[in-house]
Structure 1
Amino acid sequence: MKILVVYNPAAGGGREALLKRLVQALERRGADVEVYRTKAPGDATRHLQARAHQGDVVVAVGGDGTTNEVLNGLDDGVPLGIFGTGTANVLARELNLPRHPEQAAEVMVNGASLTVWPGDLAGRRFMMWTGVGYDAWVVQGTDLGVKRRFGKLAYVLAMIRQLARYGTTDYRLRIDGRDYQARSAIIANGRHYGGRFVLTRQADLTQPTLQVLLFNAPGRLALLKCLMALPFGAMERVDGIVSLPAREIEIEASEQDEPLQADGDPAGILPARVTVAERAVLVRVARDSA
């Protein structure tokens, strides 16, 4: 088995020791391993797209942003392996993937391939979520230097700084042919958000559908209630939150240059069209999880 490991040395402040242990564990299981170290944002996607052959499995070693880059360069039919070494590793948690290198190697070599349906944001695939409004402002406003040094604290600081902006922009969404308005929105493909928190209990990566959460209540107090409900998995029960399934979403904003985020990284500006991706992806998981 030929395994290409795409490693982001910037994710989580770098995890060279974990990378070495993962490679050794893969090789002990008979895998022929090649490691590619990314050099800049977007490099993983560019490198994969330029390769004639990607091997039998491509493993993303980094955070959710690294996995997103690998996803967008992955050839059809090549399974995706994930070893989370980033700040949050939400997709790895969603799929209950092991954090220990030895166990992760076992999944990549001898595990099963689960069929997963990504979302599509204007031609860019995403695994977990895309968002506009407060969600996107936090991602855009996160200090990368603080993130490298202090991890999730960087997101907390950005959340505090962006509170005052909530409600200043209106978003118009056309969801499967029906019109809605919101002050912020998150389009979820998976259940988890920000690590261990459950954002929505309706999303399912294995189904070709998305779950849209519309934030309708005005005022910062309403947003704070939503944020306080998140650790308890109760976001969808908060007044002013509308949660509905969707396959196609078009989004516009009352202001210009409104940003989007996808899988925790900046992803352009509005307007945008979000759909279920045309093709599913295979992801390596433990056999009892498939």
Structure 2
Amino acid sequence: MSVAPLARRRALMLVNPNARRGSEALDPVIARLAQGGVDAVIERFETPEEVSADIARRRHEADLVIVCGGDGTINSAAKGILETGLPMGIMPMGTANDLARTLGVPDDLLKAADIVAAGNLRRVDLGEVNGCPFFNVASMGLSVDLAKGLTPEAKRRWGKLGYALAALKVATRAERFRAEIVSDTGRVKVKTLQIAVGNGVHYGGGTKIHADATINDGHLDLYSLELKNVWKFGLMLGAFRRGEHGAWDEVRTAKSTEFDIRTETPMPINTDGDLVTETPAHFIIRPDAISVFAPRRP
């Protein structure tokens, strides 16, 4: 389906060649964008650090940025998008594509191109931990071990199944850790397997951070997984997929615009799939921080 052309716009298309679908031919996508009035210039990068730097360096050459990759790739673009104020389009070429799922951007790249060409913009919140931005979720504990064990090769070979296989392996040797959680409602000390702070809706290949979460609700959603027996986590998987895990006694939940988390020893923190910082951690929300191309109704 072709789209009605708008005034011609220039797009900087940043491609992660190491993404699960990073080797796919993009000529049909470029042609589809051109039909909709978007002239795209492709730039492939080798390291995540290049992404935001390229956006900032070429800000005057583009009217919009299109990020081609998964959630980690999009996360790498966040600082550049925030600094320049350029609107962002998404070509979901990763494994989980959780931000695309939250926004209603389809995996079909031609349909995703139509969304960019249509020009409908939506303002979304951005989470931040120790100055590092995230769209979906930032977490410590189980998810960090999962991120370490889920190699790019495993993602390409197994896709979303790779998350389940890696999670099963991690869960068998998981240990609880002590942490203090501070928010506007007070402070609490916990012994937990995982603490996650969500800005968006989906993470981990479609799991929901909270049943009622949106990516523009102006607050962060936290949960702490305080299980004594890891095997019980298997019984809770359905609730986690639906975002209803707060109904279990072993799961602590909270909403706030700001959290501080401290641990006995520094613990690494995973943001949108990549390890970027460690505790002590200061989380904040940046409401309506970024403009993204999205369907009018996800």
TM-score, scaled relative to structure 1: 0.90
The reply to whether residue 267 of structure 1 matches residue 245 of structure 2 is no
Contact 1:134 1:165 in 2 (8 A): no
Displacement of 1:34? 0.8
Distance 2:59 2:152 in 1: 33
Distance 2:247 2:287 in 1: 32
Aligned length: 287
Q: Partner residue of 2:209?
A: 199
The unaligned stretches of length 5 or more in structure 1 are none
Q: Partner residue of 2:184?
A: 176
Displacement of 1:152? 2.7
Deviation track 1:152-188 (CA, whole Å, cap 9, x = no partner) reads 3432332123224434311211122511233121111
Displacement of 1:106? 2.1
Displacement of 1:228? 4.7
Letter of the structure 2 residue corresponding to residue 151 of structure 1: G
* 1:12 maps to which of 7, 14, 20: 20
Distance 1:9 1:94 in 2: 23
Letter of the structure 2 residue corresponding to residue 210 of structure 1: L
TM-score, scaled relative to structure 2: 0.88
Deviation track 1:206-254 (CA, whole Å, cap 9, x = no partner) reads 1221111111232213433333533454322222112221111111222
Displacement of 1:121? 1.2
Displacement of 1:262? 0.5
SS in structure 2 of the partner of residue 204 of structure 1:
coil
Displacement of 1:42? 2.4
* 2:49 maps to which of 27, 33, 42: 42
Contact 1:212 1:245 in 2 (8 A): yes
Displacement of 1:9? 1.0
Q: Which runs of 4+ in 1 moved over 6 A?
A: none
Distance 1:124 1:145 in 2: 26
Q: Partner residue of 1:62?
A: 69
Q: Partner residue of 1:85?
A: 93
Displacement of 1:52? 4.3
- 1:26-37 matches, within 5 Å, as 26-37=33-44
The reply to whether residue 212 of structure 1 matches residue 212 of structure 2 is no
Residue 118 to residue 54, structure 1, CA distance change in 2 (3 Å): farther
Q: Partner residue of 2:104?
A: 96
CA RMSD of aligned residues (A): 2.1
* 2:147 maps to which of 125, 139, 143: 139
Residue 28 to residue 275, structure 1, CA distance change in 2 (3 Å): same
* 1:160 maps to which of 168, 171, 181: 168
- 1:246-257 matches, within 5 Å, as 246-256=256-266
The reply to whether residue 128 of structure 1 matches residue 136 of structure 2 is yes
Q: Partner residue of 1:230?
A: 240
